[in-house]
Amino acid sequence: MTYTEIKGTGSYTPSKVLTNEDLTKIVETSDEWITSRTGIKRRHIATDEYTIDLAEQAAIKAIQNAGIDKVDIDLVVVATVTPDHYFPGVSQLLQARLGLGKIMAFDINAACSGFLYALEIVDKMIKSGAYKTALIVGAETLTRLTDWSDRNTCVLFGDAAGAMIIGTSETDKIKDIIIGSDGDVNSYLICDNVELKNPYENDKSTQDHIHMNGREVFKFATRIMPQTVRDLLERNHLVLDDLDSIVAHQANERIIDKAARDLNYPLEKCFLNIHEYGNTSAASVPLAIDEAIRSGKLKRGDTFITVAFGGGFTWGGALIKY
Ligand SMILES: CC(C)(COP(=O)(O)OP(=O)(O)OC[C@H]1O[C@@H](n2cnc3c(N)ncnc32)[C@H](O)[C@@H]1OP(=O)(O)O)[C@@H](O)C(=O)NCCC(=O)NCCS
């Protein structure tokens, strides 16, 4: 039996910071409204960097932190909804920039659950015996999908990247992963692709931005997150007390707070960095895990659950011994 583990993590955020105060000059909002509804105070935004640039910086740190030789990496998966091109993928450009040789590299899109999806894919590929060491990255420049005149959404999002090296282990560390999706036929959380063009009309396509029914997304999130945590615990014969921490997708502090209350799990044991970055979609989970590790809140030997939800609708959770 091949087991897997987190070998190392890294993250990167652009240096340009957009505060709630800055946003009051762009849309009709207030620091009080944003803070009380979401917990967000600031978000980092990319003004002269692209998704590949954020991904590269996070990946370099994860490789250093894992203490591996980059030639050992035989698989790259990047989760993103904001690739710089339809093709080549961020993953393939990243492979070239890092000089990883002619290995398998591909992008996936599962919105804010993308990193959990990537983890599930590489975990099973390594456990199959076909691959040994994977680089997975969640990287986003969501600001390019943001409608800066829509106060319902523009206050929520930011740009970031988080990366992880996943490799083989002698003991069972990435213990279990749950993944799910349920087609959002009501378009509660949607960003359209560019419009269809045809040679008869030759219209120029235009880029859409994020549309959201906040209340429906809130309801979905606060149902699916506790459910995923409960399912992971139950099928591994564990109880909440066995967890040192929960690291949830940072979409809204109130969502995490409600999920924690429903579970009867102390909010103090849930890692939070949403105040600094807002919702960074697929980058949110690896950024939070990396910061939890660097701040000492997550230590080697700790058992934690990471859980996410997002557009699609998609969701995922993983039970991990770090
Ligand atoms: C978006 C969200 C923060 C809104 O919070 P809420 O508690 O549902 O908002 P409320 O119902 O209390 O308030 C809505 C009102 O605030 C207004 N409002 C919206 N954004 C605002 C802003 N930035 N500043 C001030 N007022 C705002 C709305 O126009 C609305 O006004 P109205 O009642 O006059 O029409 C919340 O629904 C949410 O977090 N949903 C999930 C979003 C999410 O996680 N998305 C990403 C998933 S990966």
Pairwise CA distance, residues 83 & 50, whole Å: 9
| 152 CA → ligand 1 middle, Å | 6
Same fold, 3-170 and 176-321: yes
Q: Helix, strand, or coil here: 114?
A: helix
User: So where are the chain's domains?
Assistant: 3-170, 176-321
Q: Whose CA is nearest to atom 31 of ligand 1?
A: 152
For position 202, what pLDDT does the model report? 65
Which pLDDT value is given to residue 228? 98
Phi and psi, residue 173, nearest 5°: -110, -50
Q: Do residues 212 and 192 make contact, with C-beta atoms less than 8 angstroms apart?
A: no
Give the residue, out of 218, 256, 277, 309, with the most ligand 1 atoms within 8 A of its beta carbon, to mutate for a pocket test: 218
Q: What is the pLDDT of residue 194?
A: 79
**Is 154 one of the catalytic residues?**
no
Question: What is the tens place of the pLDDT at every residue in 297-312?
Answer: 999 999 999 999 999 9
- Ligand 1 in reach of 29 Cβ (< 6 A): yes
Euclidean distance between CA atoms 81 and 88, whole angstroms: 14
User: What CA–CA distance (Å, rounded) separates 48 from 65?
Assistant: 26
Please list, in sequence order, all residues whose beta carbon lies within 8 angstroms of the beta carbon of residue 248, skipping any fewer than 6 positions away. Answer: 225, 255, 256, 259, 270, 271, 288, 306, 307, 308
pLDDT at residue 232 in the model: 98
> What is the fold of 3-170?
Peroxisomal Thiolase; Chain A, domain 1 (3.40.47)
Q: Which tokens go with 83?
A: 């690739």
The predicted-structure confidence for 202-244, as pLDDT tens digits, reads as follows 666 678 899 999 999 999 999 999 999 999 999 999 999 999 9
For residue 197, pLDDT over 80 is answered with no
Tell me: pLDDT of 261 over 70.
Answer: yes
Is the model's pLDDT at 95 over the cut of 70? yes
CA of 307 to the centre of ligand 1 (A): 23
DSSP 256: H
Is residue 112 annotated as a catalytic residue, yes or no? yes
Span 272-302, pLDDT tens digits: 999 999 999 999 999 999 999 999 999 999 9
177: pLDDT confidence band, cut at 50, 70 and 90? Answer: very high
What pLDDT is stored for residue 196 in this prediction?
74
Cα separation of 307 and 179, whole Å? 10
User: Is 270 an active-site residue?
Assistant: no
For the Cβ of 24 lying below 6 angstroms from any atom of ligand 1, the answer is no
Structure tokens belonging to residue 137: 């990255």
What pTM value is reported for the model? 0.96
What sign for the dihedral angle of Cα 154, 287, 117, 100? positive
Per-residue pLDDT for 263 more than 70?
yes
- Residue 86, CA distances (Å) to 90, 117, 191, 255 in order: 9, 20, 15, 32
Q: Is 190 strand, coil or helix?
A: strand
* CA-based nearest residue to 163, from 128, 134, 121: 134
> How many Cα atoms are found within 13 Å in the side-chain-facing hemisphere of 229?
31
In CATH terms, the fold of domain 176-321 is: Peroxisomal Thiolase; Chain A, domain 1 (3.40.47)
Query: What percentage of residues in the chain have a pLDDT greater than 90?
Result: 94
